[in-house]
Amino acid sequence: MERIQLSPELKLSRLVYGMWRIGDDPDTSPKHVQAKIEACVAQGITTMDHADIYGGYTAEAIFGAALKAAPSLRDKLEIVTKCGIVAPAGRHSAVRGKHYDTSAAHINASVEASLRDLATDHIDLLLIHRPDPFMDPDETGPALDALVESGKVRAVGVSNFRPWDYSLLQSSMENTLVTNQIEMSLLATEAFINGDLAFLQERMIAPMAWSPLGGGSLFKPENAALMRVLERIAGEQEVDPTAVALAWLLAHPANILPVLGTNNIARIMASADAMKVKIDRQIWFELYTAALGKQVP
Ligand SMILES: NC(=O)c1ccc[n+]([C@@H]2O[C@H](COP(=O)([O-])OP(=O)(O)OC[C@H]3O[C@@H](n4cnc5c(N)ncnc54)[C@H](OP(=O)(O)O)[C@@H]3O)[C@@H](O)[C@H]2O)c1
């Protein structure tokens, strides 16, 4: 598995495993979570993507229970987590409504809770989950710098930020924001043309792609025409169509890191085949135009 250097201190596996749906798995026992992590590690997928809010602030602890049961796993992994969304659930049940909080106090409290729940003494990469329209960059930026300085967090980045949000936060920081995790897939192609990806490429910042299979929508009947193209290419290259959809992201020169969401161990393994799929320019455009449902102008 290829690894991508996001900063001098941090390399992530090219394919990342996401924990948004960990609580949807009928089996959330430490043993089964450990089996999924080990299936990832066996494929070289060592980077685990979390957020404090996943599962209503419960997902990190499900993962942490597996790490407590198998502590030797921690050193094989890079742990990514996010903060900044506050919703009336779990430890935030008392809040009146969903909002964003990028204050220093909230970020610090969130990191402490994540460290405890994930059963780790450091987070490899902390992301601000969504751009906060009430953000004071002169508070948020130094708070992130201080977390890196403390060693609790190895590197920091953002998620779902537009270029101007990114520049604003970066302008108040000493550390470099090392990634932006945004939605990209054959069913979410806007970033390829709206400037989001171009902004990151210009700065040589590798983006992470969430919901790389459209959250499973790729397999729904309304996307059957696109699926037929994926299946044909998959047949030619002797892989699963999932691997072709992921390879479409990997082929792009921006060094995209897709974040997988499956709870199915066989699909984790099939996803790793994406690394061997060959996508040339014509195949890339064949899939892109099949996704758009029309030729490029
Ligand atoms: N930063 C953000 O704002 C943000 C937002 C959303 C997600 N994320 C991150 O991105 C990760 C991935 O998101 P995602 O779960 O939406 O990713 P995804 O990989 O696009 O979708 C995963 C879903 O697709 C289903 N699926 C996969 N292969 C399938 C197949 N061959 N046939 C039918 N269904 C299939 C999976 O079901 P099975 O489990 O049955 O395989 C699962 O429900 C999350 O875990 C999270 O870490 C970040």
Q: Please tell me the total count of domains within the chain.
A: 2
Task: Supply the pLDDT for residue 9.
Answer: 86
Best mutation site among 130, 223, 267 for ligand 1 pocket (most ligand atoms within 8 Å of CB): 267
Task: Supply the pLDDT for residue 240.
Answer: 96
One domain, residues 15 and 161: yes
Of 155, 178, 201, which residue is a domain's last?
178
Instruction: Determine the longest span between alpha carbons in the chain, in angstroms.
Output: 55
Structure tokens at 18: 């996401």
CATH code of the domain covering residue 106:
3.20.20.100
One domain, residues 145 and 2: yes
Residue range(s) defining the domain that contains residue 269: 180-297
One domain, residues 145 and 194: no
Of 178, 208, 236, which residue is a domain's last?
178
From CA 10, how far away is CA 256, in angstroms rounded?
A: 16
Atom of ligand 1 nearest to the CA of 127: 1
One domain, residues 96 and 228: no
> Is 166 labeled as catalytic in the residue annotation?
no
One domain, residues 108 and 255: no
Half-sphere exposure of 88 (CA within 13 A, CB side): 5
One domain, residues 149 and 186: no
Of 147, 178, 209, which residue is a domain's last?
178
One domain, residues 189 and 147: no
One domain, residues 109 and 207: no
One domain, residues 294 and 184: yes
Walking along the chain (297 residues) 10 residues at a time, the average pLDDT comes out as 95 98 95 96 97 97 97 97 96 95 98 98 98 98 98 98 98 98 98 98 98 97 96 97 98 98 95 96 98 95
Helices 224-237 and 281-292, interaxial angle, to 10°? 160
Residue whose CA is at the smallest distance from ligand 1 atom 45: 18
Task: Supply the pLDDT for residue 223.
Answer: 96
Task: Supply the pLDDT for residue 179.
Answer: 98
The beta-carbon contacts of 141-147 under 8 Å, at least 24 apart in sequence, are: 141/169, 141/170, 141/171, 141/172, 141/173, 142/104, 142/172, 142/173, 143/103, 143/104, 143/107, 143/108, 144/107, 144/173, 144/175, 145/173, 145/174, 145/175, 146/104, 147/107, 147/108, 147/111
Cα of 34 to ligand 1 centre, how many Å? 19
